[in-house]
Structure 1
Amino acid sequence: MAARLNPLDLYDVRSLLSDEERMVQDSVARFTDEKVLPIIGDCFDQGRFPHELIPEIAGLGLLGATIPEAYGGAGMNGVCYGLICQELERGDSGLRSFASVQSSLCMYPIFAYGSEEQKQRYLPKMAAGEIIGCFGLTEPHGGSDPANMKTVAKKDGDDWVLNGAKMWITNGNLAHIAIVWAQTDDGIRGFIVPTDTKGFTAQEVHKKMSLRASVTSALFLDDVRVPGDALLPSVKGLKGPLGCLTQARYGITWGPIGAAQACLKEALDYTAERMLFGRSLSANQAIQLKLADMARRITAAQLISLQLGRLKDAGALQPTQVSLAKWNNVRMAIDIARECRDVLGGAGITTEHAAIRHALNLESVITYEGTETVHQLVVGRELTGINAF
């Protein structure tokens, strides 16, 4: 008799991974099981980011995982980075967001667009978790239209003076530096801004019902003066921040797979133990249909992200492919989290269980770094050649 399949990996996607990729996944999975899951429900309840985990996250090489070792990174491939995101988000979207912002939105632009001096100065300490970054692109009025940017940077002698505001900034009140994008006379440019600079203020956003175990902030820049070498020299225009977002969105395609797996595992355990009308809840056809549909959708998402990772590592990845994966995989996860909440009945509304926490977190994930509608329109533009934005 054939052995039963892994309910969280029906197509044995793990067998398609290299030894290094499996090792990375296993190490992050152990970290999530041993250090994240025991505390994350309470962190969510308290609206507290678990700062105490940062040293171990850094020690595992999870910050700037794909940055070359010469700059303090781990030199991993894209699939390894995806698996890191998957296992961290199996714990909580807020933890994956922290690592994603640090790696893809802060370390990546310094590596890709920065000077050699900037790389040497910041990247090793960021990989070690000694310098935390945030990414200042989104503005209060801008949302899905980043070109409608009001933050400005004016040249004043050898310095730059920045004025403006940014909103919904992950890590804002944790950060030592901010990667701030601003309009200049030469188009949109990026700047490395120390957060202790005079005129820079970060104000934490409270009363959140989503990403409660994450730090979300508004940034205000009032005549913030930085030296000329704060400018990222190797990029201008929207392709700079959009290039960063492509890196981060790639990781987001993997993260929700972990959230969905956590919810399915919880639902499988709960329905096996819950007795109603003389039999386990899992013996009901209605429940099995729900669980089977969850497994189908997780399997499709796993294969999409793995192929996306292989394309990335081959240098063939296209932004439209990332949009399709983010749209599909986050929609998959939020639907599964909501369905699992329902399967758990009344128990599903408490943070003693994971489903409601993941469902609430995914309300943010489906919105940030490109709403679902934006990614649908990106795919539509690719299919038709017509920009409908």
Structure 2
Amino acid sequence: MNDDPRSHGLWERSAPPAPPTTPLDGRSAVDVAIVGAGFTGLSAALHLAQGGARVAVLEGVEIGFGGSGRNVGLVNAGMWVMPDDLPGALGPLYGARLLDLLGGAPADVFALVERHGIACEPERQGTLHCAVGPAGLAEVKERARQWQAQGAPVRLLDAEETARMVGTRAYAGALLDARAGTIQPLAYARGLAGAAIAAGARIHTASPVVAAADDGMGWRLDTPQGSVEAAHVIVATNAYTSAVWPEIRAELVHLPYFNMATAPLSDNLRRSILPERQGAWDTRSVLSSFRFDRRGRLVFGSVGALRGPGLAIHRGWGRRALARLFPQLAGVPFETEWYGQIGMTANNLPRFHRLGRNVIAFSGYNGRGIAPGTVFGRCLARLVQGEIGEGDLPLPVTDPVAAPRRRLKEAAYEVGAQLAHLTEARF
């Protein structure tokens, strides 16, 4: 997108075309204006339109331009935070609600995909959280124990079973989560957009919101070529928030993440790696993730930005790390590469905000955007439609709080990933 091959890489090359959209032109009035055409905004638009609301989505660039179109495509349950820690972080009421909602969120994603016939390469074989060394094994053991106590269909694998299911002996064990899976994320975003349009929503791309004003009767959102008047506004821009509502951007620390994809592998090579087609990631602080797409390309990623000195460093690390994990892939080149930003909060949990009269937002997905974004979008739609109240949401209402030393932390993430990949002797 924007003539940048490193913005969406393989996903842009392999996704079905986006539904036709146009920039906002002139003035219009709707019931709900949604800012941002990612998973949250598009899910909200779909559910609102299905409920009969007049909806306009204003997207600054293209459908799925932000993190929704750039991520690995792992449809995971829960958040990074351990299940037992949620009540302590959010209180027993909201902790239990969020745990229940996000535990079932992957099923909601796959149900939407099936219901609307979204061509996004869905794979429902689960995901593998792979343990690196004794510390990593202790982590996945504890995560398995806590999820099993909740009745979740998760299973701890020993080193031998992990080697069989992953195709490498690099890991001490793994947690298999049967609720989870993978999708082609940009294709999913485009499919949600198509479903929302079919339900009656309007989506305007190349329409960044440059100003917002409340006249006491409703909101007016201005774009370079037009304006929308709306009774309610949903802000769904997360890590890609720009000038309007800067408090959302200020509370999020950007964590860069990149992916590189091989050309389609031969049948023999495909069968030797992730033979059951789970998506996988490991327990390192500078983690690695890997999964196949439908055509047999291996998508391999980690923390880091493909720019400046990081471009050569991460490319070199990727070739070395891939060959160490899977020696049979030594010499196999990467065909595409791309990166984006993850919005991290101080406690690794998302936030619900009321940013003004009838202006609401979820933000801070912390690298778990697909399933949470989908179900949070539905929650926002139900709130606007009056089906639920704020007290029924899975998160309490909080005010945005600027992250201290945000720019320093962001620089540390980017440079730290470069140093780790430059010096790390993998496994």
Q: Same fold (TM over 0.5)?
A: no
Higher helix share: 1
| Larger RCO of the pair (alpha carbons < 8 Å, separation 6+) | 2
Query: TM-score, structure 2 length as denominator?
Result: 0.27
Higher strand share: 2
